[in-house]
Amino acid sequence: MKKKYVLIDCDPGHDDVMAILSTIAHPDTFHILGITTVCGNNLVPLVTENMLNVLHYIHREDIPVCMGAERPLVYPPSPQAAHGYNGLEGFEFPKHTLKTVQQDVISFMKEKILSSPEPVTIMALAPLTNIAKLLQKEPTIIDHIEQIIVMGGSWYRGNVIPHAEFNIYADPHAAKEVFSGKVSTVIIPLECCDDCTISEATVQSWMHDERYLTKMVGGIMDFFAIYGRQHHRTRHTIFDLAVTEYLLHPEIFEGENCDCDIILSGEEIRGQTVFTTNPNSKILVLKNADTNRFEQQIISDINYLANEII
């Protein structure tokens, strides 16, 4: 597989961390140009600190982090309780002195994309505010973007209001910009994420694994699984991890090309994604995934990192 030069836009977030760990586990496949953070799961200073905590813990201080948008384009922030008080509850990270890149996020993204030796893939694990601002301010940047892989949206249902998924609900105006069809885009909606799960047994195995990395992974995934356990679920969805796994193994996913419209307002429909089949669209919307291969890949990735990171 040809190496992919990736820029990760995120709001860590337990599932963001798992996606990023999986990406780091494949140095021959991914070259991480940088990580940008955005207001989403929690306020941007908190999710940025979460990202720095993780990179320090896994000894990857070499990956630059730039703090991005503090709020969506139009609506106020809408942090989610599911990720805990700081957006990444479940593990006590050691103190560190790691700092963010002191640069405007749009100039940071532009610089990383234009300096890449190959067109860049953007891994979008969060509300799309940063990416929308980049496309608005630097419209010619699309010539240097291979594709944008987005965890967001839904075919039929919602997870924060009846008809909208959180990442799109949080900033529907940004999603409308990104999904305008100018850039090759893959959307991984809620219904596909229903197949992107790990078992309670896998979570338990990490919780009881005393290796350095799995102490952290077990801690954060134990917290992330609380909601599922409360609803008597034996499998837990790791939404954002689907982005990495799609890039690693697109063959385990199925979808169709569609145009995408976004509902911008409405108490029960703000952020609803409306997909219309169009074989000529630059947007691929995924429908399902191979759950077994999804789980086996992240088990393998965490085991690899746990043996590498001491």
Terminal alpha carbon distance of the chain: 28
For the chain, what is the mean pLDDT? 96
Q: Which residues touch 166 (CB under 8 Å, ≥6 apart)?
A: 40, 78, 80, 159, 160
User: Shortest CA distance to 15 belongs to which of 299, 247, 241, 203?
Assistant: 241
Give the domain range for residue 252: 4-197+237-308
92 belongs to a structural domain: yes
Q: Is residue 293 part of a domain?
A: yes
Give the chain's domain count: 1
CATH number at residue 292: 3.90.245.10
Mean pLDDT computed over 238-266: 98
Q: Does the pLDDT value for residue 276 go beyond 80?
A: yes
Tell me, yes or no, whether 226 lies in a domain: no
Give the number of other CB atoms < 10 A from CB of residue 2. 5
Question: pLDDT tens digits, residue range 289-301?
Answer: 999 999 999 999 9
What's the average model confidence in pLDDT over 99-108? 98
Answer for the pair 167, 127: CB distance below 8 angstroms, yes or no: yes
The pLDDT of residue 20 is above 80: yes
Q: Which of 245, 233, 155 is nearest to 192 (CA)?
A: 155
230 lies in a domain? no
Work out the pLDDT band at 105, boundaries 50, 70, 90.
Answer: very high
What's the pLDDT score for residue 102?
96
3-state helix, strand, coil in the chain (%, to 5): 40, 20, 40
pLDDT in the model for residue 231: 84
Identity of the amino acid at 209: D
* Model pLDDT, residue 286: 99
* Residues belonging to the chain: 310
| Six-digit token string for 14 | 């337990």
The rounded distance, in Å, linking the Cα atoms of 172 and 279 is 24
In the chain, where do the E strands start and end? 4-10, 30-37, 65-67, 120-124, 145-151, 185-188, 197-199, 235-237, 253-262, 273-277, 283-289
**71: in domain:** yes
Q: What confidence score (pLDDT) does residue 81 get?
A: 65
Neighbours of 158 (CB within 10 A): 21
pLDDT digits (tens, 9 = 90+) for 140-186: 999 999 999 999 999 999 999 999 999 999 999 999 999 999 999 99
Read off φ and ψ for residue 116, nearest 5 degrees: -70, 140
| pLDDT tens, residue by residue, 62-87 | 999 999 999 999 999 987 766 777 88
Cα distance between residue 187 and residue 304, in whole Å: 28
- Please report the pLDDT score of residue 150 as a whole number: 99
Any domain includes 206: no
Whether residue 134 lies inside any domain: the answer is yes
